[in-house]
Structure 1
Amino acid sequence: MSRQRFIDRKRELEFLERAYKSGRAEFLVIYGRRRIGKTELLLHFARDKPHVYFLATERPYRDNLRELQRLLAGFLEDELFGKVAFEEIDELLMAFAERIEGKRVVLIIDEFPLLVEHHRPVLSLLQKAWDLKLSRTKIMLILCGSSVSAMESEVLAYKSPLYGRRTGQWQLTKIPFFHIGEFLPDYTIENLVKTWGIVGGIPAYLLQFDPKKGFDENVVENVLSKGAFLYEEAEFLLREELREPANYFAILQAIASGRSKFGEIVSSTGLDKSLVSKYLSVLQRLRIVERGVPVTATIKEARKRGLYSISDNYFAFWFRYVLPNKGYLEAGLAEEVWERSKDDFNTYMGSVFEKLIGNHEVFLRLTGFRFTKLGRWWHRGDEIDLVALNEREKKALFVEVKWKELSEREARGILKDLERKSELVGLEGWEEDHGMIAKKIGGKDELREEGWLVWDLEDFGELRSLS
């Protein structure tokens, strides 16, 4: 996951280590989108343990079975085991389990959905092997997959033959923001935030950025240039994961262009309402799109007032700057496209910065405010970027987020208006504080002396040193 060392994944490793030390048979399911770092995590975990790592490929089922058999025979150091004519995976795994009975062995089957795709009985055969033999050994079986939809429907779902067998599961998500500086140690905190706004916390994407090159150069060479890894990655991912990518493209294009209400998306795409609803649900499950509601909304209000946005930064950037400029980019005009896009990118970073601050871990570490709810608030023409509520203690923190360098006068005006808007939220009897987070705030110390809670990227830099 890193050019020199493994970065973060502390919680995931602790989860795997606890399972390994349980001493009983373990059946774990590890999944997450492509490039998230699943394979690196599992290999890092297993590096000092007796293990077999098998990567399923697009080859026919029998070829995959023979390759798995070859690896198991190599682990056992038994040539004869490699020559036995196993017809199915259950026979192979049960024979292997007999040979290792009493020993703790980690068996990783990576890209498991490919096995299912080529031979659907694999699910029932694996169930049989687990029930009859593997569950009575000390094996640690790990199924891993990049197709989130396949792993959830074929492995984790109630109707799956494997339902009820797993002893644990973990959906791998992105690297937290405060760790991405380990990929780009010489970047300023501002450039790290901008990089996060383009590739998010996907390890494989962060590795595309050369730490010896500047931010603009990395964007042009590694995202906007034809042939670059990130140039067509969005298309590849959608086609791999989804059956009707064209319709999903239309929906993501609509959201990227500013259509955030359900009705607006329907009108823009021309698709039937029921289809749009279905596609949006899939995109939400894949964590590409999110639906936000006012933080104080009731369940009834939440059904009506939701706004959609692209939550995945890479997809948000790609649909805003790559896809609409494909003609120019195909002609080799990446530098010109980026130069022309910079003013709009600054606007784009406003929503990105708000999203970053709205991350629970980031908000807590930066403000120190303990909350039970955190989110945006809006009503008619008024909006507050973030409202943090501590419902147990009846405390609230209202925060405006600005990707701007503000003078003390500008900051004071925004904070005064925030006070006005906070009265509209209607939290009578609550203890309230008001604050601001911006790229840079002039007169920060003076504002703090007056009781305002203000932070800027300088405070981010201090947190970065604690990561």
Structure 2
Amino acid sequence: MILMLSSSINFVENSMIELDPGFASSITGIVKIQPISFAQMVEWFPNKSVEECIIIRSILGGVPKYLSMWDKSKGLRENIINLFLTRQAPLIEEPEAVLRKELRELSSYNTILISLGRGLIKLNDLFLATGYSRAKISVYIKNLIEMDVVEKLFSANVKNVENTMKGLYRISDSLLSFYYAFVYPNITRIELGKGSEVYDEMIGPALNSYLRPFFADVCREYLDLMSQYGKLDHEYSHWQTWYGKKGTIDIVGTDSKNNMICGICSFGDEISTIESFAELKALTAQAGIKKCSFCLFSKNGFDSSIEELANAGEVTVASLKDF
């Protein structure tokens, strides 16, 4: 048996066979290696809290090479500065180096990725921010999707489609997402030796908000495990997100009989209150979801009103201590 490995998804899927068409008949299988799961992340960092593991995964993704660079003896701030925010940092040039192997016109792609890193995920927002034509943006986005750098966000199917946002994209690679959100836009200050200031002024204050969608990914993984072990009211197996014009339902789970569970996730420092539950119910109404189970996830727990609803079976709740 001959095993061939490549770090270039674009090459394997689009170019490898073209080099030797007869080679295709010799291929018995292609396996796409996935990033390690969050459960495996926790095993990788046995002495780190769940919160720290979520943050590390959100910054470095699930690639062992990058995870091995995280100094387990140091804290979050020091690790981020050492890995990204000094002129000699090992990851300060890594994202661009990876992209440069695959892409021409890297500066144009950087412009789009910076906009995505700023949270401009609608195609029209990218058009306004970059000044590029919609046709040009679409071509660049298509190329980035083929490289698994960007993904198109498909919203959960709901009744009130008029309240659903469409044409949404995000950077799917965690390392690239963090890089284009915080590192690349501040590269001049970093090169001037002001990486600590960049962390204190730009990264630290924005981190909780930035981490919400990554926390939601972990929450979906948690619910999927709970469902597999029969800990939920139904055996949910399909997980999505609903992107509404007035808010996002982070978790929309369905089973084979179209039973649904809907939830939102908060990674803020404050505890979640009854307003969080009211927001979730309002969003499900906007989506046209008339019947579903509810769940709430919160980094720092819930107030007594939410706990009472949970005890009454009206909502499933989980904080980091439950993971």
Q: Which of 353, 374, 378 pairs up with 2:243?
A: 378
C-alpha distance in 1 between matches for 2:51 and 2:209: 15
Q: Percent identity?
A: 25
**Preserved CA contact (<8 Å) 2:158 2:287:** no
SS of the counterpart of 1:419?
Answer: helix
Q: Which runs of 5+ in 1 are unaligned?
A: 1-139, 461-467
Cα shift at 1:456: 1.0
1:98-129 deviation per Cα after TM superposition (whole angstroms, max 9, x unaligned): xxxxxxxxxxxxxxxxxxxxxxxxxxxxxxxx
Task: Give the alignment partner of residue 365 of structure 1, picking from 208, 217, 225.
Answer: 225
Map of 1:322 onto structure 2: 183
Q: Which amino acid aligns with 2:285?
A: E
Q: Would you say 1:395 and 2:259 are equivalent positions?
A: yes
2:318 to 455, 458, 462: 455
- Mapping 1:172-321, distance limit 5 Å: 172-296=33-157, 305-321=166-182
Quote the Cα distance in structure 2 between the aligned partners of 1:335 and 1:245.
28
Contact 1:405–1:438 (Cα < 8 Å) also in 2: no
Partners of 1:233 and 1:322 lie apart in 2 by 11
SS at match of 2:45: coil
Of the structure 1 ranges 270-279 and 367-376, higher mean CA displacement relative to structure 2 is found in 367-376
Letter in 2 for 1:433: S
What is the rounded CA distance, in whole Å, between the counterparts of 2:22 and 2:111 in structure 1? 35
- Please say if residues 397 and 435 of structure 1, whose CA atoms lie closer than 8 Å, have aligned partners that are also in contact: yes
Paired residues of 1:447 and 1:454 also in contact (CA < 8 A): no
CA 1:427 to 1:153, structure 2 compared with 1: closer, same or farther past 3 Å?
same
Q: Aligned-pair distance for 1:181?
A: 2.7
Structure 1 match to 2:211: 349
The alpha-carbon deviation at position 335 of structure 1 amounts to: 1.6
Structure 2 CA distance for aligned equivalents of residues 199 and 380 of structure 1? 30
Provide TM-score, normalisation by structure 2.
0.88
Q: Which residue of 2 aligns with 1:464?
A: none
Runs of 4+ in 1 over 6 A off after TM superposition: none
Q: 1:413 to 1:270 in 2, by over 3 A?
A: closer
Between the aligned partners of 1:382 and 1:271, the Cα distance in structure 2 is: 28
The 1-side partners of 2:148 and 2:155 are apart by: 19
Q: How does 1:55-70 map to 2 (within 5 A)?
A: none
Q: What residue is the counterpart of 1:126 in the other structure?
A: none
**Residue ranges of structure 2 left out of the alignment (5+ in a row):** none
C-alpha offsets along residues 426-466 of structure 1, whole Å, 9 cap, x if unaligned? 345x5x21110110213475442121100111111xxxxxx
Conserved 8 A contact 1:404-1:440: yes
Aligned to 1:404: 268
Question: Taking structure 1 as the reference length, what is the TM-score of the superposition?
Answer: 0.62
Cα drift, residue 266 of structure 1: 2.5
Over the residues paired in the alignment, what is the CA RMSD in angstroms? 2.6
AA aligned opposite 1:371: Y
Partner of 1:51: none
The residue aligned with 2:280 is: 418
Q: Greater share of strand residues, 1 or 2?
A: 1
* 1:25-70 Cα deviation digits (max 9, x unpaired): xxxxxxxxxxxxxxxxxxxxxxxxxxxxxxxxxxxxxxxxxxxxxx
1:91 — aligned with what?
none
> What displacement does 1:372 show?
4.5
Q: Contact 1:405 / 1:441 at 8 angstroms: preserved in 2?
A: no
**Number of equivalences:** 313
1:209 & 1:149 partners in 2: Cα distance? 28
For residues 261 and 115 of structure 2, what CA distance do their matches in structure 1 show? 33
Distance in 2, matches of 1:318 and 1:416, equals 35
Question: What is the CA distance between 1:419 and its match in structure 2?
Answer: 2.1
SS of 1:171's equivalent? coil
- Superposition deviation, residue 406 in structure 1: 4.3
Shift of 1:278: 1.9
Superposed CA offset, 1:244-270 (max 9, x none): 322211110111122211122123223
Give the conservation status (yes or no) of the 8 Å contact 2:262–2:294: yes
Residues 381, 427 of structure 1: alpha-carbon distance in 2 compared, 3 angstrom cutoff: closer
CA-CA distance at 1:297 after TM superposition: 5.7
C-alpha separation between the residues in 2 aligned to 1:304 and 1:193? 27
Amino acid at match of 1:192: C
Q: Find the structure with the greater CA-based Rg.
A: 1
**Per-residue CA shift, 1:130-179, capped at 9, x if unaligned?**
xxxxxxxxxx0112112221121233569833223211111112111111
**Number of the residue aligned with 1:9:** none
**What SS does structure 2 have at the residue aligned with 1:172?**
coil
Confirm or deny that 1:440 pairs with 2:304: no
Q: How far apart, CA to CA, are the structure 2 residues paired with 1:313 and 1:174?
A: 10
Q: What amino acid is aligned across from residue 400 of structure 1 in structure 2? A: I
2:106 partner letter = P
- Any idea what SS the aligned residue of 1:284 has? helix
Alignment CA distance shift 1:158-1:375 (3 Å): farther
SS at match of 2:62: coil
Query: Hey, what's the Cα distance between the residues in 2 that align with 1:225 and 1:184?
Result: 25
Alpha-carbon deviation of 1:349? 1.4
Cα pair 1:366 1:459 within 8 Å, conserved: no
**Distance in 2, Cα, partners of 1:266 & 1:274:** 10
Instruction: Indicate if the aligned counterparts of 2:240 and 2:253 stay in contact, CA closer than 8 A.
Output: yes
DSSP 3-state at the match of 2:198 = helix
Note closer, same or farther for the CA distance 1:190–1:172 as it changes in structure 2 (3 Å cut). same
